[in-house]
Structure 1
Amino acid sequence: MTDAVKTPWHLWVIGGLSLLWNAFPVVDFTLTNMHNEGWLSQYNEAQRALILGAPAWSNICWAIGGFGSFVGSLLLLFRSRHSITAFLISAAGLAGTTWYQLVQNGDAFKKALGDVPLYVSITIWVILLALLFYARAMKARGVLR
């Protein structure tokens, strides 16, 4: 059985690169919440206290954002239209994380980490929105089932 629409080469490139990119938040979330000393050694005591002291709702948003994007990338590689839903769910999680880090606790994060959280958030938003629009375009072309 052959596919009605041939999979474009760029889907494999974008899907593969996005899977690698989105593996980082999965690893970061897991090792941070397991209190892995090797992973947390990159932070000083003030930074560590800020990161580990986040409320549960913020950690849930972090998990939804990171794991949602990872699943979205997997589904993109499987040519599933549900990748769009996964990326949208990830955006909801990212919105919560962004709110916590930049709005609710912006001064504390800036004092502890400088402008890094701002630049990281902007980068993640740009890539996530690009993946969402790419998945929507592939669905419109009939590539995603």
Structure 2
Amino acid sequence: MTDTLPVGRAPMHLWIVGGLGLLWNGFGAFDYVMSKLRGADYFREMGMTEAQIAYAQSYPMWMNIVWAVGVWGGLLGTVLLLLRRRAAAPVFALSLAAFLLSLVYTYLLSNGRGVMGEGAYMQLVVLAGCLFFVWYSRAMARKGVLR
């Protein structure tokens, strides 16, 4: 028995993971766009405090770039996964690297942990999602599902 699938065949779980990835990373992209277009009003609707809003709006330019790379990299990685392209794995890895840089900023270079409070738990969920998509896309590339 081989680990690869016949040419032209993709396992059902690829479509399931891809669909869930579109929802997951699509929300990240929506959140990014809304935070840029609507700013504080959007943050208030999401339940953030005034201190959290001020913190999020004080990101240095490089942090905004890191955030964009993470969010749009995740969405692009998902599209590439659904298109069954090997490039999905390095794009997901880039998205993970950007997220890790954002954690460095939040926990080491700023007072993000103190300001964001309970939001730290959500960052663990996001980290788990990033790690999953990197692992899954690499596994699918190794099995020959991605070309």
| One of 48, 51, 56 as aligned partner of 1:46 | 51
Indicate the RMSD between aligned Cα atoms, in angstroms: 1.6
Give the direction of change, closer, same or farther, for the CA distance of 1:36–1:54 in structure 2 (3 Å limit).
closer
Q: Which runs of 4+ in 1 moved over 3 A?
A: 35-38
Question: Which position in structure 1 is the counterpart of 2:114?
Answer: 111
What is the aligned partner in structure 2 of residue 78 from structure 1?
83
Cα offsets for 1:48-68 (capped at 9, x unmatched): 111001101111100000110
Q: Report matched runs for 1:1-145 at 5 Å.
A: 4-41=7-44, 42-105=47-110, 108-116=111-119, 118-145=120-147
Say whether the 8 Å CA contact 1:5–1:142 is kept in structure 2.
no
- Count of residue correspondences: 140
Name the TM-score, length of structure 1 as normaliser. 0.88
SS of the equivalent of 2:71 reads helix
- Using the aligned pairs only, state the percent identity: 33
CA deviation vs aligned residue, 1:2-27 (integer Å, no higher than 9, x gap): x6151000000001101110112211
Unaligned runs of 5+ in 2: 1-5
The Cα offsets for residues 54-102 of structure 1, whole Å up to 9 and x where unpaired, read as 1011111000001101100111011111101110110121121111112
